[in-house]
Structure 1
Amino acid sequence: MRMNFSAIPVVKLPVVDVSTDPLDLLVAGIALRMKQLAKTSPKFIELTHDRQVRVQISTQKGMARQIIIDKGAVSSVSGQAEPADLVLQFRNSDQGVKTFLKNDASAILSGIQKGTIELEGDQRVLVVFAKLLRLLPPKLPTSVQQKVQHARAFIRKKTGR
């Protein structure tokens, strides 16, 4: 059974400045992980310590969230608060979520080339943003990584995927 994210009703949660839109939740989660990396990851700190960048992730239906990097500090705001240096606009939340969950910057570039993702703004910011996205997944200890690989192999064997 495939989950259709578009079937989930979207509700604005003002206390935490996020909606139940799947892409909004995902981008808010990305911003939270970036906040953590801004304090703990030397590579992340090196890429962001001298930058002031505003990246907007949005859909054609009107969902928008901006990730703001201000000299190493990371924050997020719902909507189109100010003009962004880089805007990535997806057709819908499903496409955005699936693209980001691939955890591969080439998926974004491929979507831009095919015209399914609209890009507006400075492409140099896209390069930096792609580098930052690569740092998001936590590094798992080797023993845990081996167990994950065994579990994936088991699931592939049982499901044929």
Structure 2
Amino acid sequence: MKEDVLSTPGHLISLAARGFARLSEARLKPLGFGVGQLPVLVALGEGKASTQRDLARFAKVEQPPMAQMLSRMERDGLISRTPDPADGRSSRVELTAAAREKMPEAITTLFQGNREALDGFSDEEAAQFVQFLQRVIDNLDRIAGTETGPQHP
């Protein structure tokens, strides 16, 4: 039997990710947020990161794209930057009051979209699906780490 490349987990996950991104982008745009900003907003809102370097690490992106995103977010009034007293070369990044005020609605909007996307799934199926996706992500991170890590002869 011939394998169907369009039915592989990688392709289907990619389609689902693009669908989630389109839905989230459409629903977050009226609030002034972009879906790509979510890891930064969450990290800042929950106190998990406060520097560009830590935000890039948290969001799993390189420094240059993070710098560009932070510049746009600052321009749009979502974040503010202040010099880091511990490191003069670095800045502390914080959510503005306006961003903090809109965050609860944004989170509610995202959870609603996820519930709608999982319509027809039982709570147990939805939880299992999330566990499966996390295992796939962990496997991919491990594979990427071994393929980009030091090469031994």
Indicate whether the TM-score tops 0.5.
Answer: no
Q: Identify the structure with the greater strand proportion.
A: 1
| Higher CA-based Rg | 2
What TM-score, normalized to structure 1? 0.28
TM-score normalised by structure 2 residue count: 0.29
**Which structure is higher in helix share?**
2
